[in-house]
Structure 1
């Protein structure tokens, strides 16, 4: 860009700035801050700003602000004995037409006596915003029936802080920031025992949909598009369109109604597909074909439940095929347990698919193994899980059953792949028993083509075996 003709709008390099010459914006700011501190004419600081919070609304709904406006005493708080101040029960609450809140037109409620002097006064007619209550609702949930306080101390100390908060990123200001602000006020007042309200926050990704885009980048509604031979065209002028991912929008007509999906495929299929689409925190596009795949997977599980169940002791000695299934089952319990705890639902479902595919090869299944699988499946497909649990002969819900356990011994692979590193570079791999000793691993490494090729004509200075992991070779 010729800066004599047009302004440079990107991050540039400093010129004519003495000791800042040659630096970009970020580095120049850092160096200038150091300079100011060194000369003792300034210091580094981080300033935080809480967005202005307009705490009143001119509408009927919302919590009434408990204040009385007295011509003699000024603004006076409603006595605690008269709290909570409730909205008047009226049939209509039309706007006043004067710019005031609808409450201003309800004279039987607005007109009152001053709590201090008894003079004729008027109530505050603005109400609190909807998040006045949502800022601390998590505390009220702990003790919702207590009429003397918002939460008793023992229950607050037992339950708080919240272990996990899952919410959309749009909550960052309008709820989470103010909930934290509100909580810290309550902490300073001594009515809560924790400085922070939430231990961990997860912002879930948005479920998007496919849309269609012209070369001009404008979007075309789904019903104005036709598909031919795997390509997409605008119906009005035939322009070829690019299929892109976009927010679900009524104008683009790409909204997927979950009620229709549930009606067609069932709630378990929709629930499980949403968890299988990808990582919880990532936005991902809806694809009904993926939902069909999950529906078929659940059908496969039901078909497996129709097989005979035997009472084989899965902790005892098993034949080769059942031992292999036991290993897959143990790995499934381990992985589903870990992944569910980490909210990695999609990879937990993938592991369940691996187990189901292997179990499908058998004419009958160990009942103990199948019961464990059903318990793992139930958080993901609760309706099917309960049906399968009853088919196994249980009368009560599985919701209170103990989570299945696994033995690490069954998770171990008999053999594994060992890399051979020569001067820090991967040169070969070989298969060996997972518990092979160092001498065996070293001997097998020397037999690989990579070892022979990259040590030919050189001196092997050292061979270091990392048990169970790799063989490291140093040559000169």
Structure 2
């Protein structure tokens, strides 16, 4: 009996407090030793020692059955005065919340499994609105609680029962009402709890960011004085296989004087991990040689402020989805600090995020050495060329999805590149001699050129690389046919070929540069302006539209691209195929979508 003791529990569901039948403390909780009854001390002590040998990650994982032991002590539920058993369990962490949780087994899956394992009651205090509306209280009485097979954990649509004055309150009114009652009666308070854990330092390199700490035999741990920052790494460290950082064996780095007492001291030789450097690398990239060769002071900015204003924040970030909970999170921390320090005038480091997919093995599984399905791209670069491999990776599927590696598909991409090479390098034969191209031939080629420019530009901007490559392939086929006609060698042909190479350049830089030089164009293709598509030139002269009768396609017809609604309606009703479906019926309505379809409603 400990009348003077109390402890706080953390919960996200105050509306379930009436259903608390036990509380769980972290094994490290300071009250555990004090409240454990004599007959439970041995089993509790053994459990605490076992928990100490586990990592927080092991303790939090959902794999495996949850375990715990009863302390022998009880607490009082503040909302109803009932006794609740106090247990300890290693899935509760001292570093999260208060190191103690209230357990409501009928409405939490983990608590429910724990309660069933150890024979703890599971009273029902939340039911579905539909169940509550029946008015049948047997659905939430003790017998119903004993018969529960699963926890009812949903919030929306739940109604409070067996909860005193709060009976009948739905979510979220029940949440607010119980929270206010707890605060008014000094039994609880609202608080935002963050799931943020300590930064794990694991990916360390000798050339990582130094930790500015000095260890003095007299003064203990001493921070490097502000005026001595930044700590610079040596450039002559010995890299030998000792299993330790080279900094530990570099006397010029680690042997220093204590900044407080002047005694011989040692500098910290550990470094921060890669994530610290990658948290702000893009800031340094705006002026990579800023202050190089100069004596640095702690007041120096790590990049040229003028260049920072020009280039930052990052417009588009592309990376794996795992970065959302690691690298990008840390980058935001750094940006907030830099904002507060006046180094930047924005809040978010990245304006847009795009997560690319994963290239799988030929078997459709993630590549790994254990599966034996790892692909070495160098082998394929040697056989097909870097451009073919790059283009294939873009063509393999939607960029955000990725897909399985298919070596046979690379051959199709290689044939496309060979076709482009022939378009530029090989002189055609068998063309009509002395016959100028027709206006329609010129218009058709320019239309295809500007349609491709518009399509490829839009695909690049929206990361639709697979359809971008497909559009270039289709355009190259168009040029193969155009090369057989009198349009070859005209301004329209030159526009088409140069546009093709410019559109290819970001994805296939090597062949594009080579063919650009073969055309005697100014060096380099990668410094030229991007082609601009003309929407007027890209318009089709005629388009195919679907004719529907009562929502089903009955015919397709070609019409002028600029045909108005009246013209389209007349053309649809004049179709012989359509007339078969409306014969003997009254046309009630004709719906026209210019350029796409006509739908006839008749009965």
Q: Same fold (TM over 0.5)?
A: yes
Aligned to 2:389: 270
Note the C-alpha offset of 1:136: 0.5
Is 1:170 aligned to residue 322 of structure 2?
A: yes
The 2-side partners of 1:18 and 1:165 are apart by 44
Is 1:348 aligned to residue 468 of structure 2?
A: yes
Q: Within 5 Å, give how 1:32-111 maps onto structure 2.
A: 32=158, 33-37=171-175, 39-41=177-179, 48-55=194-201, 60-71=206-217, 73-88=219-234, 89-91=236-238, 103=247, 109-111=253-255
Q: Within 5 Å, give how 1:354-433 maps onto structure 2.
A: 354-361=474-481, 362-363=483-484, 364-365=488-489, 366-422=493-549, 426=553, 428-433=555-560
The 1-side partners of 2:537 and 2:152 are apart by 54
Residue by residue over 1:323-378, the C-alpha shift from the partner in whole angstroms, topping out at 9 and shown as x without a partner, is 32222222111111111122211111111111211211223342232122221122
Compute the TM-score of the two structures, normalised by the length of structure 1.
Answer: 0.78
Note the C-alpha offset of 1:140: 0.5
> Which structure: larger Rg?
2
Corresponding pairs, count: 424
The 1-side partners of 2:124 and 2:212 are apart by 61
Q: Does 377-386 or 465-474 show the bigger shift? A: 465-474
> Runs of 5+ in structure 1 lacking a partner?
1-8, 212-244, 310-315
- Tell me if structure 2 keeps the 8 A contact 1:144–1:150: no
Secondary structure of the equivalent of 2:592? strand
Q: In structure 1, which of residues 256, 279, 283 is the aligned counterpart of residue 375 of structure 2?
A: 256
Residue by residue over 1:133-183, the C-alpha shift from the partner in whole angstroms, topping out at 9 and shown as x without a partner, is 111010011122223320132221111111111122233333121111221
The 1-side partners of 2:245 and 2:560 are apart by 79
Aligned to 1:223: none
- Tell me if structure 1 keeps the 8 A contact 2:356–2:400: yes
Is 1:300 aligned to residue 419 of structure 2?
A: yes
- Tell me if structure 1 keeps the 8 A contact 2:239–2:246: no
Aligned to 2:257: 113
Counterparts in 2 of 1:468 and 1:87: CA distance versus 1, 3 Å: closer
Q: Does 269-278 or 392-401 show the bigger shift? A: 392-401
Secondary structure of the equivalent of 2:172? helix
The 2-side partners of 1:252 and 1:17 are apart by 50
Q: Within 5 Å, give how 1:96-175 maps onto structure 2.
A: 103=247, 109-147=253-291, 148-175=300-327
The 2-side partners of 1:403 and 1:267 are apart by 23
Note the C-alpha offset of 1:392: 1.1
Note the C-alpha offset of 1:94: 6.5
Counterparts in 2 of 1:125 and 1:451: CA distance versus 1, 3 Å: same
The 1-side partners of 2:588 and 2:239 are apart by 92
Note the C-alpha offset of 1:299: 0.9
Counterparts in 2 of 1:346 and 1:464: CA distance versus 1, 3 Å: closer
Q: Within 5 Å, give how 1:432-451 maps onto structure 2.
A: 432-448=559-575, 451=578
Residue by residue over 1:293-328, the C-alpha shift from the partner in whole angstroms, topping out at 9 and shown as x without a partner, is 11111111111113449xxxxxx9844334322222
The 2-side partners of 1:342 and 1:133 are apart by 29
Compute the TM-score of the two structures, normalised by the length of structure 2.
Answer: 0.63
Secondary structure of the equivalent of 1:247? coil
